[in-house]
Amino acid sequence: MIGMPATLRTTEGAGLPGGGMAPQPSPLPLLEVKNLQVSFGGKPVVRGIDFSIAPGEKLALVGESGSGKSVTALSLLRLVPDAAVGGQAIFQAPGGPSDLLALPESALRGIRGRDIAMIFQEPMTALNPLFTVGEQIAEVLQLKKGLAQVQSEQAAIELLASTGIPEPARRARAFPHQLSGGQRQRAMIAMALACRPKLLLADEPTTALDVTLRGQILDLLGDLQRRNGMAVLLITHDLNLVRRFADRVAVMENGHLVEQGTVADVFVRPQHPYTRKLIDSRPVRDVVAADAATPSAPVMQAGHVRVAYPVPVAGFRGWFRSDEFVAVKDASFAIAPGRTLGIVGESGSGKSTLALASLGLLKFSGQLQAMGQSWGRQAAANQAMRRAVQVVFQDPFSSLSPRMTVEAIVGEGLLVHEPGLGPAQRRARVEQALVDVGMGQAQFPGLLGRYPHEFSGGQRQRLAIARVLIIDPRLLVLDEPTSALDVTIQKQVLGLLQRLQRERGLSYLLITHDIAVIRAMAHDVLVMKDGEIVESGSVFDVLDAPRHPYTQILVAQG
């Protein structure tokens, strides 16, 4: 997969002609959107935005979740049900300019897929699981170009080849679940480009992919864009992607387009405060410097930890035995007091499994000691350790019970570890913990009686941190604590974690796929791949001079 450009070169002749067509400045924009408004049930989501895309241009639409960027793209093809859409979107269709928002449904259906195609964030749900990818691509060609069955199947294989999928003829007969994430996204791209559209709407095309794949898919999109001379509207929240890919950028906030211009202009001289805030949102390193001189006992020490899951064996033999899948092979590490150990890896690398094992929530073999004690089988014997080692999860929406009030959620640890407290004392402690994470009664009247659904992702993550702070732990296991948050919120939550570490001398076991977060937070780092630790050391050694090839790719992409 790494050698993808080579693959592309070999298949270039068989693929799509028209290479080398440079984006020409054109008097008529390919798509001109005027005063686009979208609202759901009277609630405006897009509040009158204007932008245009020239033929062959790469425009990026950037914004945080809820800014209306995806809805904007979907509403251009009228793919949002139950939405009231207003304004104009003049598209230079082959038969003359037409307003996409006013066209009859039958005419629009002709444009969808043929002139304007779309790729989605999650290829697993965007592809039909009951058909092979070859059939799904061939179907587009049969419908839109009227190709015969045999021809369309051949063309589908050529399209797959042009996206750099190895063994395209075999992959065309594969079902979506038999392909890897990157291959699925390539198949989606092949399908979208089947009719050589003039405009491609790419809605977060790389967000669901691992970091090492993101660059590849982006390069592929850029390459195909150049060869086909099509325009691309890239919807994303990731500024790195914009920098690497787009010619122009438009920034959306809360349904408004606050700024647009060339990528160079906007990134160097952002005009709008929100754009500046977005660009400034890279996490900042602000932690106590690690000095090797302190020989204090580690808060947690792991030696040769191994975690394996049983996997059922197919067929008759499965009645009697089961195989095992080894999620973590032989992991050893130590965390010093007041320090952060970062574990970085992609999905499936075993890093979250290691986190659960270190919390004593999974069966494992090997030694794992926290505060000089090991996890036992008796719940009562573990209580002291439970108090010392706490966890904050990734998804702020599933980590708080939706039917408990803030007071019940945050105060739960006290019920277990300090059962002697009276209701009034408990309430005071809950309030203090909330203040410690920056959630005061002043900002939220009646905070204690509120339910989690009333808070945003960042606020929920603060509640999750308050829940563990209240029992005064020594080590926090942070499992992707900011991955589900917007960049500006991510910066705030990381700042909070840094402050808590400085003030309380907390140790962190930080699990993430994001090199920028590691760079801002960690003192030491472990790189995991397929359950193995491939590289470890102090954060500057590993990130500035990566030795393992895998680490090198991670650092280059991040």
Using CB under 8 A as the binding rule, whether residue 373 contacts another protein is answered as no
Stretch that binds another protein, among 113-121, 295-303, 464-472, 511-519 (CB under 8 A): 464-472
Using CB under 8 A as the binding rule, whether residue 425 contacts another protein is answered as no
Compute how many residues bind another protein; rule: CB under 8 A.
Answer: 67
Using CB under 8 A as the binding rule, whether residue 369 contacts another protein is answered as no
Stretch that binds another protein, among 50-58, 142-150, 172-180, 484-492 (CB under 8 A): 484-492
99/323 with CB nearer another protein: 323
Alpha carbon distance 326, 328 (integer Å): 6
Using CB under 8 A as the binding rule, whether residue 403 contacts another protein is answered as yes
Candidate list 7, 240, 254, 483; residue touching another protein; CB under 8 A: 254
Q: What share of the chain is helix, strand, coil (3-state, %, to 5)?
A: 40, 25, 35
Candidate list 413, 481, 531, 546; residue touching another protein; CB under 8 A: 413
**173-177 long-range CB contacts below 8 Å, 24 or more apart?**
173/132, 173/134, 174/132, 174/133, 174/134, 175/129, 175/130, 175/131, 175/132, 175/133, 176/123, 176/124, 176/127, 176/128, 176/129, 176/133, 177/124, 177/129
Alpha carbon distance 78, 71 (integer Å): 10
Using CB under 8 A as the binding rule, whether residue 109 contacts another protein is answered as no
Using CB under 8 A as the binding rule, whether residue 372 contacts another protein is answered as no
Question: Which amino acid type is present at position 409?
Answer: I
Candidate list 5, 97, 449, 505; residue touching another protein; CB under 8 A: 449
Tokens 């499965």 found at: 318
Using CB under 8 A as the binding rule, whether residue 516 contacts another protein is answered as no
Minimum gap (Å) between residue 323 Cβ and another protein: 17
301/405 with CB nearer another protein: 405
Using CB under 8 A as the binding rule, whether residue 436 contacts another protein is answered as yes
Using CB under 8 A as the binding rule, whether residue 357 contacts another protein is answered as no
Count of alpha carbons within 13 angstroms of residue 148, beta-carbon side: 2
Candidate list 83, 143, 308, 356; residue touching another protein; CB under 8 A: 356
175/451 with CB nearer another protein: 451
Using CB under 8 A as the binding rule, whether residue 428 contacts another protein is answered as no
Using CB under 8 A as the binding rule, whether residue 280 contacts another protein is answered as yes
Using CB under 8 A as the binding rule, whether residue 4 contacts another protein is answered as no
Minimum gap (Å) between residue 268 Cβ and another protein: 17
Q: Which of 310, 308, 300, 299 is nearest to 367 (CA)?
A: 300
Stretch that binds another protein, among 116-124, 131-139, 276-284, 512-520 (CB under 8 A): 276-284
Identify the sign of the CA torsion 508, 512, 517, 518.
Answer: positive
66/86 with CB nearer another protein: 66
Ordered strands of the 116-119 beta sheet: 116-119, 199-203, 231-236, 58-62, 248-253, 256-262
b/e string for 441-452 if b means 16 or more Cβ within 10 A? eeeeeebbeeeb
Stretch that binds another protein, among 329-337, 369-377, 405-413, 540-548 (CB under 8 A): 405-413
Using CB under 8 A as the binding rule, whether residue 361 contacts another protein is answered as yes
- Three-state DSSP at 546 gives coil
Using CB under 8 A as the binding rule, whether residue 288 contacts another protein is answered as no
Minimum gap (Å) between residue 468 Cβ and another protein: 8
Q: Which of 196, 254, 260 is nearest to 225 (CA)?
A: 196
Determine the distance from the C-alpha atom of residue 88 to the mean position of all C-alpha atoms in its chain, rounded to a whole number: 32
Q: Which helix (H) or strand (E) holds 157?
A: helix 149-162
Six-digit token string for 167 = 């063994």
Identify the sign of the CA torsion 439, 445, 447, 453.
Answer: negative
- Three-state DSSP at 229 gives coil
Using CB under 8 A as the binding rule, whether residue 393 contacts another protein is answered as yes
Alpha carbon distance 203, 205 (integer Å): 5
Could you tell me if 116 and 77 are in contact, meaning their C-beta atoms sit under 8 angstroms apart? yes
Using CB under 8 A as the binding rule, whether residue 313 contacts another protein is answered as no
3-state secondary structure 393-439: CCCCCCCCCCCCCHHHHHHHHHHHHCCCCCHHHHHHHHHHHHHHCCC
Alpha carbon distance 290, 34 (integer Å): 54
Using CB under 8 A as the binding rule, whether residue 353 contacts another protein is answered as no
Minimum gap (Å) between residue 398 Cβ and another protein: 5
Candidate list 170, 269, 276, 317; residue touching another protein; CB under 8 A: 276
Stretch that binds another protein, among 168-176, 198-206, 231-239, 483-491 (CB under 8 A): 483-491
Candidate list 145, 226, 329, 450; residue touching another protein; CB under 8 A: 450
Applying CB under 8 A, which residues contact another protein?
A: 41, 254, 273, 276-277, 280, 284, 286, 356, 359, 361, 379, 382-383, 386-387, 389-391, 393-395, 398-405, 408, 412-413, 415-417, 435-438, 440, 442-446, 449-451, 453-456, 458-459, 464, 467-468, 471, 486, 488-489, 492, 495-496, 498-499
